[in-house]
Amino acid sequence: MMNWNLLLAGGSLCLMLLLASAAAGQETDRVTGLAMVEGWQAVQANCTECHSTLLITQNSGSRAVWESRIRWMQSSQGLAELEPELESRILDYLATNYGQKQASRRAQLAPPLMPENPYPIN
Ligand code: HEC
78 in any annotated domain: yes
DSSP characters over 13-34: HHHHHHHHHHHH---B-TTT--
86 in any annotated domain: yes
C-beta of 81 in contact with ligand 1 (< 6 A): no
Count structural domains, the chain: 1
d(CA 42, CA 51): 15
15 in any annotated domain: no
Q: What digits encode the pLDDT tens for the residues 49-89? A: 999 999 999 999 999 999 999 999 999 999 999 999 999 99
Range of the structural domain that residue 67 is part of: 60-100
pTM: 0.75
List the beta bridge partners of residue 28. 35
DSSP one-letter code for 50 = S
Q: What digits encode the pLDDT tens for the residues 94-108? A: 999 999 988 778 888
What is the number of the ligand 1 atom nearest to the C-alpha of 78?
1
